[in-house]
Amino acid sequence: MRAVRLTHWGGPPVITEVERPEPRSEEVLVRVEAAGLCGSDLHVIAAAPGALPYLTPFTLGHEIAGRVAGSGPDATGPPTGERVVVYGPWGCGRCGHCSTGAENYCDRRPALDAVRAGTGAGLGRDGGLADFVLVPSGRLLLPVGDLAPTQAAPLSDAGLTAYHAITGIRQALDEAGGGAGGASVAVIGVGGLGHLAIQILRATTSAQVFAVDIRDDAIALADDCGAHFGTLVRPDTADVLRKRSGDAGVDAVLDFVGTSATLRLGVSALRAGGQLTLVGSGGGELTVRKPGALPPGLRMSLPFWGTRPDLERVIALARSGAVRVETKQFPLSRAPEAIDTLRSGAVRGRAVLIPD
Ligand code: FEH
Ligand code: ZN
Ligand code: ZN
């Protein structure tokens, strides 16, 4: 089978012919029908030797949809032929967090990384930029019904991460809902995650949604996704957002970029007691000091990926038609081109690769 593999740190991903894995014990083999590309893939590809607790070579791809193609004798989960998405954070499956489906916060992650077990598919373990992917357990597979695979795959990472980030601001939105204009949320970065966050906010909250990006076509996408207002980044963007929110400031900011500039913009637009959620891995920094310039009562969170119950909910939203993924599709054979296109910022929505 073909697999897009990181053969050594600092090298380019290479489409390689490898043995199709045989599922044993609880393992399940999935025939990949679509696999999304993520900004984190770019970070993994660019990582210096030793920066990540993963051993090369391994196959990339942590945003996967396909059909169950076989399973080991002790496997559970969806039957052969069922179309599924892969829940990507592969935890120990037994600790306090994993037992509630929050394998994204597995208590044993350091120990798993120490034995080079990796974060999950495409993140130290062989992932789904391939014809097949081997999943450690059927508990990591969620059925998607009649969703197209190119719509389903992005839900497992972009959709799940956006949904989980929004669960963390619901309290701030509920507390603010009684205000004059109701609650308001700024979505900074309208890419693969941001465009889905806008749709999830519109489908599950009554908040006013304001989108911010540096690209005209991203602001147009935000509008298509139901944002009440969109603006390019300008020197006065924080003031523009504060005015839009009724002068007090927005109740929550979802920063899907995560640079020092977007963090500064976020806290400048927030009202007192507001919630800043840092999702993007832009490597930005924010000085937290008292006394200081941050809004009083600031609440901050750094969510990571999402839980299995979150993924069930975002699949249900997509199946209801409330969430639709904007995709730019590539055949698997053009994976290097897809990666370069993502890196150049030229992907509107999410890049998805399809085994050709
Ligand atoms: C995965 C692994 C490591 C860092 C970040 C991520 C995200 O892409 C998951 O959504
Ligand atoms: Zn990702
Ligand atoms: Zn665990």
| Ligand 1 pocket, mutate which of 6, 45, 119, 164 (most atoms under 8 A from CB) | 119
pLDDT at 181: 59
pLDDT at 179: 52
Q: Pick the atom of ligand 1 nearest to 44's CA.
A: 3
Residue whose Cα lies nearest atom 6 of ligand 1: it is 40
Residue 244 Cα to ligand 2 midpoint, Å, equals 31
Q: Pick the atom of ligand 1 nearest to 123's CA.
A: 2
Residues of the chain with CATH 3.90.180.10: 2-158+305-354
What is the CATH class of 2-158+305-354?
alpha beta
Distance CA 45, CA 135 (A): 22
Residue 353: how many other CB atoms lie within 10 Å: 28
| Ligand 1 pocket, mutate which of 52, 104, 157 (most atoms under 8 A from CB) | 157
Residue whose Cα lies nearest atom 3 of ligand 1: it is 40
Residue whose Cα lies nearest atom 9 of ligand 1: it is 305
Q: 335, exposed or middle or buried, with CB in 10 Å at 0-12, 13-18, 19+?
A: buried
The hierarchical CATH code for the domain 169-301 is 3.40.50.720
| Ligand 1 pocket, mutate which of 304, 314, 342 (most atoms under 8 A from CB) | 304
Cα-based angle 29, 350, 257 (whole degrees, multiple of 5): 115
Q: What is the pTM of this model?
A: 0.97
Closest CA to 122 of 135, 105, 140, 104: 135
Residue 317 Cα to ligand 2 midpoint, Å, equals 20
Residue 230 φ/ψ, nearest 5 degrees: -140, 145
Residue 136: how many other CB atoms lie within 10 Å: 19
pLDDT at 341: 97
pLDDT at 252: 98
Residue 272 Cα to ligand 2 midpoint, Å, equals 31
Long-range CB contacts (< 8 A, 24+ apart) of 50-56? 50/9, 51/9, 52/124, 53/113, 53/114, 53/116, 53/118, 53/124, 54/116, 54/118, 54/119, 54/123, 54/124, 55/116, 55/124, 56/6, 56/7, 56/8, 56/9
User: Distance from first CA to last CA of the chain, Å, rounded?
Assistant: 12
Which listed ligand is nearest to 120 at the C-alpha?
A: 1
Residues with CB under 5 A from ligand 3 (ion): 91-92, 95, 98, 106, 108
pLDDT at 190: 97
The reply to whether omega before 291 is within 30° of 0 (cis) is yes
pLDDT at 306: 98
| Ligand 1 pocket, mutate which of 106, 123, 310 (most atoms under 8 A from CB) | 123
Ligand 1 contacts (CB < 6 A) are 38, 40, 119, 123, 157, 161, 305
Residue 5 Cα to ligand 3 midpoint, Å, equals 27
Residue whose Cα lies nearest atom 8 of ligand 1: it is 40
The letter for the amino acid at 6 is L
Distance CA 223, CA 198 (A): 9
Residue whose Cα lies nearest atom 1 of ligand 1: it is 40
Q: Pick the atom of ligand 1 nearest to 39's CA.
A: 8
Residue 19 Cα to ligand 2 midpoint, Å, equals 26
The letter for the amino acid at 293 is A
Q: Pick the atom of ligand 1 nearest to 38's CA.
A: 8
Q: Pick the atom of ligand 1 nearest to 88's CA.
A: 9
Half-sphere exposure in the Cβ direction for 40 (13 Å, CA): 22
Blockwise average pLDDT, block size 10, the chain, 356 residues: 97 97 98 97 95 94 98 97 97 96 96 82 96 98 98 98 97 75 92 97 97 97 98 97 94 98 98 97 96 95 98 98 98 97 94 97
Torsion of CA 351, 352, 353, 354, to 10 degrees: -150
Residues of the chain with CATH 3.40.50.720: 169-301
Cα-based angle 335, 338, 340 (whole degrees, multiple of 5): 110
